[in-house]
């Protein structure tokens, strides 16, 4: 059975990221950097990193252990800091944790590392639950 929150189709398919580990308060987004992800200087485009940071941060606050309960959120604010580049062939993990919040709004911090553990980027997001599926 298809997971209703596994990022398939749409923008996730266009970028090529996938959901890795996912549990209460934590999420990982995975991406293998290909030539389509590079900017004109031949390194990972900042927009791809921003997408990974945003997606991981949102997923970190939307996990539900209760079968059939689907939480969704949208981004209110996002900060991204790019530390170093990542060439094609790099395998990236955006690891996010929910750091707080309430019934309608939550906060996440996110770090993106490559396969060697190098910090590539970091960020923080503020998200709002959609509908009645809040915390």
**Where are the domains positioned within the chain?**
10-129
What percentage of the chain reaches a pLDDT higher than 70?
A: 90
pLDDT, tens only, 25-59: 999 999 999 999 999 988 899 999 999 999 999 99
Provide the whole-model pTM. Answer: 0.90
CATH match for 10-129 among 3.30.590.20, 3.30.930.10, 3.10.129.10, 3.50.50.60: 3.10.129.10
Q: Is the pLDDT of residue 102 over 90?
A: yes
CA distance 17 to 105: 25
In this model, does residue 74 exceed pLDDT 60?
A: yes
Q: In which order are the strands placed within the sheet that holds 91-101?
A: 18-23, 26-32, 91-101, 105-113, 119-129, 73-82
Of the candidates 131, 68, 64, 121, the residue with the CA atom closest to the CA atom of residue 94: 121
Query: Phi, psi at residue 96, to the nearest 5°?
Result: -125, 150
Render pLDDT for 107-128 as a digit per residue (tens, 0 to 9): 999 999 999 999 999 999 999 9
pLDDT above 80: residue 62 = yes
Give the integer Cα–Cα distance in Å for 91 and 108. Answer: 22
């Amino acid at each position: 059975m298809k997971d209703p929150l596994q990022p398939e189709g749409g923008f996730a398919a266009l970028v090529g990221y996938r959901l890795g580990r996912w549990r209460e308060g934590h999420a990982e987004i995975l991406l293998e950097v290909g030539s389509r992800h590079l900017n004109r200087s031949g390194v990972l485009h900042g927009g791809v990193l921003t997408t990974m940071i945003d997606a991981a941060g949102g997923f970190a606050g939307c996990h539900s252990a209760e079968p059939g309960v689907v939480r969704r959120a949208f981004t209110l604010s996002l900060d991204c800091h790019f530390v170093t580049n990542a060439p094609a062939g790099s395998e990236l993990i955006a690891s996010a944790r929910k750091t707080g919040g309430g019934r309608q709004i939550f906060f996440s911090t996110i770090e993106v590392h490559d396969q060697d553990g190098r910090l590539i980027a970091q960020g923080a997001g503020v998200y709002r639950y959609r509908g009645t599926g809040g915390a």
